[in-house]
Every structure is written in structure tokens, then in C-alpha cells.
Amino acid sequence: MPTLSRATGVLVNGLICCLAVGLLFQNVVLVKQNRDLRMTLAPRSTLSSPLSHLIALNMDGARADIRPPVERGGKLVIITMSPFCPFCRASKAGWVALTTALMQKGKWNVVWVSRESVASTRRYCETNGIPLQNVFADATHQSYRELALDAVPNMVVVDHDGAVQRTWSGGLNPERSKQMSEYFGVPYGTFGAPGN
């Protein structure tokens, strides 16, 4: 069997390296596109019956029932998140501002439900200025099953009858922020999207 000359061997090795780098780059691009697609098409709540309550732990570790508002016209806004989710972290400042604006308007009760333990959720909230009184931890993901969700982040609006009125899946971006601004009647500049 003839042996390749040294120049031909270098050329073949160079082509193989270029091909490997190209495949690696293509895989990185595909992973990013897949992640972006999952965020765009994140599962929406498919809750078919009214929500009576969610069970989670408050930041003292005690069991808490999260219930829709009793008064007619009241709404419960549930922000599902994880301290370790990059989309949640990127949206945090906007959600805090929106939470403050909605709570000041009345008729809106906003709660944050974390997929993590009480300890990691508490640490995250204290570090990032998220008020603890309306934050709950659900490391068993029971509330996510109740809401028919399996990913974070989400914002779910439930009316006083327990019916899901609106769901946004994924972190804040300009399009979602504008939809939320119109829906909640809160100026876009109040919370906006990350980087805005």
C-alpha cells in the first residue's frame, strides 16, 4: 500500500481538523437554536378544570396553600421560576418592577413559585431584592403539575373562579413585555424587557 507523502498527510489532517471545527460550530449553533425554540414554544398551561389551590412552602418552610382571590374581579398572577434558570435571572428585575406595579394597583395578587428548595430560593431572593412574603418553594414540582406546566419561566394569570386567563412562557423579551403591558395596563417602561 503506497504511503502518503508528508505534505499530503498534513493536508488531510488539516482538512479533518477543519471539518471537525465546522461540525463543532454547527452543533453549537443547533444547540442555541434548539434552546431558543424551546423558549419560544415553551409549554403553556393546559389546565382544563378550575384551579382550587396550589401547595408549596413559604420561606419559613411551612406548608402554604396558594389560592385564587376570593373577591370577584381579583386575579392571581403566578410567576414560576428557578434561581438557576438563566432566563429567570435575566427577567428578574422586570418581574420585580411589574410585581410592585400590580400590587399597587390592587385586585392583583402576585406570587413567585420556585422549583427549588426553600434554602436556595430564600438565598436567591434575599440576594436579588425579591420580597419574601409572596415567594414559595416547590422542590417537588407539585404546583407545576397542578398548572400543567413542566418548564420555567412562566407567568400564569388565574381569575377568582380558578380559571387560567392568560399564560406567558419564557423570559421577558420586548414582545412579551408589550403584551403584558397591554394586558395588565402597566406602562411598558415600568418593567420592559431585559436590557431595555
d(CA 100, CA 112): 13
Contact 59, 118 (CB under 8 A): yes
> Angle of helix 174-184 relative to helix 86-105, nearest 10 degrees?
20
H or E segment and range at residue 88: helix 86-105
Cα separation, 158 vs 114, in Å, equals 18
What's the whole-number mean pLDDT along residues 152-173? Answer: 92
Task: Tell how strand 54-58 and strand 63-66 pair up.
Answer: antiparallel
Handedness of CA 177, 181, 183, 186 (dihedral sign): positive
- Residue 35 scores a pLDDT above 80: no
Q: CA of 194: how far to CAs of 54, 126, 191, in Å?
A: 29, 20, 9
Is CATH 3.40.30.10 the classification given to domain 54-191? yes
Mean residue pLDDT of the chain comes to: 83
CA gap 82, 86 in Å, rounded = 9
Name residue 146's amino acid: E
pLDDT at 20 over 80: no
Q: Say how many CA atoms lie within 13 Å of 133 toward its Cβ.
A: 5
Contacts of 140 (CB under 8 A, 6+ apart): none
The mean pLDDT value for 147-154 works out to: 87
Write the pLDDT tens digit of every residue in 138-150. Answer: 999 888 888 888 7
In whole angstroms, what is the distance from residue 51 CA to residue 49 CA? 6
Cis-peptide, bond into residue 187, ω within 30° of zero: no
Can you give the pTM of this predicted structure?
A: 0.73
What's the pLDDT at 12? 75
Alpha-carbon Rg for the chain, nearest whole angstrom, is 23
| pLDDT for the residue numbered 15 | 79
Q: Model confidence over 53-71: pLDDT tens digits?
A: 899 999 999 999 999 988 8
pLDDT of residue 30: 57
The identity of residue 14, as a single letter, is G
| 8 A C-beta contact, residue 115 and residue 138 | yes
Is the distance from CB of 111 to CB of 143 less than 8 angstroms? no
Is the confidence at residue 41, as pLDDT, over 50? no
Average pLDDT, integer, range 27-45: 51
Which of 46-55, 116-125, 158-167 is the least confident region?
46-55
Percent of the chain with pLDDT over 90: 53
